């Protein structure tokens, strides 16, 4: 299995055919229906059927172009952004990217909107919605869970590695975080291939919490093997955009930050 470094994955611009094939129509009919699109049909209301058809055409065309370029990556979703002619593209096992409407260019990174008091990340909510679905599909039995004290007010998901110093620092705060009514769910995310055996041994231990705590202290972990979700959880992290640990997300899939003091976690969850 290949692991990413902390460098951004390079995505090359792909030259594609037009995403929409033309239909043979009379000129008058074209003018008459010029304003009818997937999102503005004759009724003036959005048409779910037309939107689904448009999305499927986009996904199929983009998938075909990736295959032509010998890039074996599955397109799992495409959504419009608020930026004209720019689409958000979700890929299986890779961070999301953006594509121009004509399909000629793809690019990776953040699109930021100016004009307000704070910068607005155009793709953040789109990515968060995808993350939320991934988190909801997780089996809690595959995680290390630290329940909230008293009534659970919030749940956070933390991609973590037992070898990560800032993960150690966050781990020391777990009791204080739980005392704030916050449940913490650890997802395994070894930062490199060399850390995979330890994380797998922790996840295969009879007592994962004790094994993780021992690893944080620097104690040797007895090697253990079993059917475990560590590799799948690592790939999940790549898919949601994790590039370092710890990486903290709320239950709605929104990225809260890396290492954060307890007070900052509480404030961000309250927003």
Contacts of 128 (CB under 8 A, 6+ apart): 252, 253, 254, 255
Q: What is the pLDDT of residues 37-71, one digit of tens each?
A: 333 344 445 567 777 788 888 888 888 878 888 88
pLDDT at 212 > cutoff 80: yes
- Establish whether 191 is a catalytic residue: yes
Q: Give me the CATH topology for the region 27-122.
A: Nuclear Transport Factor 2; Chain: A, (3.10.450)
Residue tagged active-site, from 23, 52, 185, 191:
191
Residue tagged active-site, from 161, 204, 208, 264:
161
Q: d(Cα 162, Cα 158) in Å, to the nearest integer?
A: 12
What is the predicted pLDDT for the residue at 196? 96
- Establish whether 12 is a catalytic residue: no
- Count of Cβ atoms closer than 10 Å to residue 111 Cβ: 16
What is the predicted pLDDT for the residue at 209? 97
Tell me the torsion sign for CA atoms 212, 214, 219, 225: negative
Tell me what the pLDDT averaged over the chain comes to. Answer: 83
CA atoms within 13 A on the CB side of 258: 11
What is the predicted pLDDT for the residue at 15? 32
Lowest-pLDDT choice from 2-6, 110-114, 139-143: 2-6
- Establish whether 252 is a catalytic residue: no
Sheet strand arrangement including 106-107: 75-80, 86-91, 97-100, 106-107
Residue 267 pLDDT level (bands cut at 50, 70, 90)? very high
What is the predicted pLDDT for the residue at 94? 86
Q: What is the pLDDT of residues 177-197, one digit of tens each?
A: 999 999 999 999 999 999 999
Q: d(Cα 59, Cα 57) in Å, to the nearest integer?
A: 6
Selected residue with higher pLDDT from 256 and 76? 256
What is the predicted pLDDT for the residue at 33? 34
What is the predicted pLDDT for the residue at 164? 96
What is the predicted pLDDT for the residue at 68? 83
pLDDT at 258 > cutoff 80: yes
pLDDT at 2 > cutoff 90: no
Sheet strand arrangement including 154-160: 144-146, 182-188, 154-160, 247-250, 255-257
Among 241, 265, 250, CA closest to 156: 250
Residue tagged active-site, from 23, 167, 204, 219:
167
Domain ranges of the chain: 27-122, 139-270
Selected residue with higher pLDDT from 2 and 251? 251
Beta bridge partners of 155: 183
Residue tagged active-site, from 12, 164, 204, 208:
164
Q: d(Cα 68, Cα 16) in Å, to the nearest integer?
A: 9
- Fold agreement (27-122, 139-270): no
Contacts of 165 (CB under 8 A, 6+ apart): none
Q: What is the pLDDT of residues 86-119, one digit of tens each?
A: 999 989 888 899 988 777 788 888 889 998 888 8
pTM: 0.76
Question: What's the average model confidence in pLDDT over 186-214?
Answer: 97
What is the predicted pLDDT for the residue at 216? 95
- Establish whether 167 is a catalytic residue: yes
What is the predicted pLDDT for the residue at 47? 61
From the options 3.40.50.720, 3.30.70.2660, 3.40.30.10, 3.90.79.10, give the CATH code of 139-270: 3.40.30.10
In terms of DSSP bridges, do strands 182-188 and 154-160 run parallel, antiparallel, or are they unpaired?
Answer: parallel
- Count of Cβ atoms closer than 10 Å to residue 40 Cβ: 13
């Amino acid at each position: 299995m290949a692991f990413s470094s902390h460098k951004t994955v390079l995505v090359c611009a792909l030259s594609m055919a037009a995403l929409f094939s033309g239909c043979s129509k009379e000129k008058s009919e074209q003018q008459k229906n010029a304003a009818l699109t997937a999102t503005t049909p004759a009724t003036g209301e959005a048409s779910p059927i037309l939107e689904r058809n448009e999305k499927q055409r986009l996904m199929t065309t983009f998938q075909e172009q990736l295959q032509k370029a010998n890039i074996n990556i599955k397109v799992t979703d495409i959504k419009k952004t608020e930026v004209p002619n720019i689409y958000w593209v979700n890929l299986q096992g890779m961070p999301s990217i953006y594509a121009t409407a004509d399909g000629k260019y793809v690019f990776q990174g953040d699109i930021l909107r100016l004009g307000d008091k704070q910068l607005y990340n155009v793709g953040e909510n789109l990515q968060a919605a995808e993350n939320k679905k991934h988190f909801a599909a997780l089996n809690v039995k595959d995680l290390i869970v630290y329940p909230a004290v008293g009534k659970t007010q919030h749940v956070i998901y933390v991609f973590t590695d037992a070898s990560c110093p800032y993960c150690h620092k966050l781990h020391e705060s777990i009791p204080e975080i739980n005392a704030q009514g916050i449940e913490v769910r650890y997802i395994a995310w070894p930062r490199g291939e060399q850390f995979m055996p330890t994380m797998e041994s922790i996840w295969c231990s009879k007592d994962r919490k004790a094994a993780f705590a021992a690893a944080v202290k620097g104690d040797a972990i007895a090697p253990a093997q079993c059917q475990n979700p560590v590799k799948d959880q690592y790939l999940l992290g790549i898919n949601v955009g994790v590039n370092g640990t710890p990486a903290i997300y709320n239950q709605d899939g929104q990225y809260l930050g890396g290492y954060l003091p307890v007070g900052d976690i509480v404030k961000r969850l309250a927003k």
